[in-house]
A and B are shown apart, each in its own frame.
Chain A
Amino acid sequence: MSGKRFVARSTRVAARMIGDETMIMSGADSSLFSLNATASVLWHAADGVTPIAAIVEREICSRFDVDPDVAMRDAIELIDALASHGILQVADAPFAATDVAAEGKR
Chain B
Amino acid sequence: MREMGAKALRLGIPLSVHLDLTYRCNERCVHCYLDHDDHGEMTLAEITALLDQLAEAGVFFLILSGGEIFLRPDLFTIVEHARKLSFSVKLKTNAVMIRRTKAERLAALGVDSVQVSVYSHRAEVHDSITKLPGSFRRTVEGIRLLRENGIRVSIANVLMKGNAGDHRDVRAFAASLGADCTVDPTITPMMDGSRSVLDLNIDAQALRDLMRDPTLVGDVDAYCAPPAGPLADQDALETLPCSAGHTACYISPYGDVYPCVQFPLPCGNVRRAPFQEIWRDSPQFKDVRSITVHDLNGCSTCVHGGSCSRCPGARVHGGRHARPVTPGLREIVRAHGGGFAQPAPEEGSRCTARSCRPSRVARRRIEIPGFLAEPGALKLRIAAIS
Known: A16-B55, A38-B379. A25 touches B112 (CB 8 A): yes
Tell me whether B110 and A27 are in contact (CB under 8 A). yes
Q: Which residues of B contact A60 (CB under 8 A)?
A: 378
Q: Which residues of B contact A35 (CB under 8 A)?
A: 382
**A14 contacts which of B88, B152, B374, B378 (Cβ < 8 Å)?**
B88
Interface contact tally, CB-CB below 8 A: 113
A12 at the interface (CB under 8 A from B): yes
Tell me whether B385 and A33 are in contact (CB under 8 A). yes
Taken together as a complex, chains A and B put the C-alpha atoms of A19 and B3 apart, in Å, by 12
Tell me whether B379 and A81 are in contact (CB under 8 A). no
Taken together as a complex, chains A and B put the C-alpha atoms of A79 and B375 apart, in Å, by 20
Q: Which residues of A contact B371 (CB under 8 A)?
A: 77-78, 81
B222 at the interface (CB under 8 A from A): no
Tell me whether B382 and A81 are in contact (CB under 8 A). yes
Tell me whether B60 and A81 are in contact (CB under 8 A). no
A54 at the interface (CB under 8 A from B): no
Please choose the segment from A45-53, A65-73, A89-97 that sits at the chain B interface, where 4 or more of its residues have CB less than 8 A away: A65-73
Tell me whether A13 and B86 are in contact (CB under 8 A). yes
Taken together as a complex, chains A and B put the C-alpha atoms of A37 and B60 apart, in Å, by 18
Q: Which residues of A contact B228 (CB under 8 A)?
A: none
* B: interface residue count bin: 35 or more
**A32 contacts which of B11, B55, B373, B384 (Cβ < 8 Å)?**
B384
**B382 contacts which of A16, A29, A33 (Cβ < 8 Å)?**
A33
Tell me whether A36 and B379 are in contact (CB under 8 A). yes
Q: Which residues of B contact A34 (CB under 8 A)?
A: 3-4, 382-385
The interface residues of chain A, by DSSP majority, are classed as mixed
B380 at the interface (CB under 8 A from A): yes
Contact with A along B348-386 (1 / 0, CB 8 A): 000000000000000000001011011001111111111
Tell me whether B386 and A102 are in contact (CB under 8 A). no
Taken together as a complex, chains A and B put the C-alpha atoms of A102 and B85 apart, in Å, by 7
Taken together as a complex, chains A and B put the C-alpha atoms of A34 and B15 apart, in Å, by 14
Tell me whether B86 and A103 are in contact (CB under 8 A). yes
| A59: min CB distance to chain B, Å | 11
B258 at the interface (CB under 8 A from A): no
Q: Which residues of A contact B325 (CB under 8 A)?
A: none
Contact with A along B273-303 (1 / 0, CB 8 A): 0000000000000000000000000000000
Tell me whether A106 and B55 are in contact (CB under 8 A). yes
B89 at the interface (CB under 8 A from A): yes
Tell me whether A74 and B378 are in contact (CB under 8 A). yes
Tell me whether B382 and A12 are in contact (CB under 8 A). no
B58 at the interface (CB under 8 A from A): yes
| B303: min CB distance to chain A, Å | 33
Taken together as a complex, chains A and B put the C-alpha atoms of A64 and B378 apart, in Å, by 7
| B68: min CB distance to chain A, Å | 24
B314 at the interface (CB under 8 A from A): no
In the assembled complex, 26 residue pairs joining A and B whose CB atoms fall closer than 8 Å, in A order, are: A12-B110, A14-B60, A14-B86, A18-B4, A18-B7, A18-B15, A18-B60, A25-B60, A25-B112, A27-B110, A32-B4, A32-B386, A33-B384, A33-B385, A35-B382, A36-B381, A38-B379, A39-B380, A67-B377, A73-B373, A74-B373, A74-B380, A81-B382, A82-B382, A106-B56, A106-B58
B contact residues vs A (CB 8 Å cutoff): 1, 3-4, 7-8, 11, 13, 15, 55-56, 58-60, 83-89, 110, 112-113, 152, 368, 370-371, 373-374, 377-386
Not counting A30-B112, A33-B383, A106-B55, a sample of 18 additional A-B residue pairs whose C-beta atoms are within 8 angstroms of each other reads A11-B110, A14-B112, A15-B86, A25-B112, A32-B1, A33-B382, A33-B384, A33-B385, A34-B385, A36-B379, A36-B381, A36-B382, A67-B377, A70-B378, A74-B378, A78-B371, A85-B384, A106-B58
